[in-house]
Structure 1
Amino acid sequence: MTTRSIFAPGWGQDAAGRDQDERQIALEYLAEAWNSAEDDGVESAALAHASLFAALATLVKLHGDDATAELIANLPDRIRTGEYNLDRNLQ
């Protein structure tokens, strides 16, 4: 497990029990790979774009084009409300 994770430790709080634990473990694996890539000189922006592509391609494969497009259509509001802001303070 990495201690340099760029991700907030409370990620996935809406998921229940086992799903939350599994998502947290997955996020820790991704953070470790992210940190290793940065140590090797890969830029954060390149990692972010590659991660988005991989995530979207996987969601399309698992759930189809329409379901993935519906999920993505909700992202602007979630982004604007700070859900993905790592610097925000949760009260």
Structure 2
Amino acid sequence: MFTPASGTATFDLDHGERQIALEYLADAWNCAEEDGLQSAALAHASLFAALATFVKMHGDEATADLVAMLPDRIRSGEYNLDRILQ
């Protein structure tokens, strides 16, 4: 099941609002899994919704620039929910 990440957030939004948003998403994710949806389908739908929202808010180029930074951030463990922050 999906659990919200703790620790340093990835974007420059208010941390409290981000945490609340993650809790809403975790609840929806868990309900969907309980209804039998696969995690991979949820992840793909979530990525699509997030990217479509960024494109609508910031445009194609800014969203592409954001996505271009993801490989390094992923490799550095920024999206690893199991990592331990010291």
**TM-score normalised per structure 1:** 0.85
What is the CA–CA distance in structure 2 between the aligned matches of 1:74 and 1:13, rounded to whole Å? 11
Does 1 or 2 have the higher relative contact order (CA < 8 Å, sep 6+)? 2
Q: How many residues align?
A: 86
What whole-Å deviation, never above 9, does each CA across 1:58-82 have from its counterpart, x for those lacking one?
A: 0000000000000000000000011
What whole-Å deviation, never above 9, does each CA across 1:4-24 have from its counterpart, x for those lacking one?
A: 7522222527747xx111111
**TM-score normalised per structure 2:** 0.90
What is the CA–CA distance in structure 2 between the aligned matches of 1:8 and 1:50, rounded to whole Å? 19
In 2, are the aligned partners of 1:13 and 1:20 still within 8 Å (CA)? no
What is the CA–CA distance in structure 2 between the aligned matches of 1:49 and 1:27, rounded to whole Å? 17
Structure 1 unpaired stretches of 5+: none
CA-atom RMSD in angstroms: 1.8
1:12 is matched with which residue?
A: 9
Percent identity over the alignment is 70
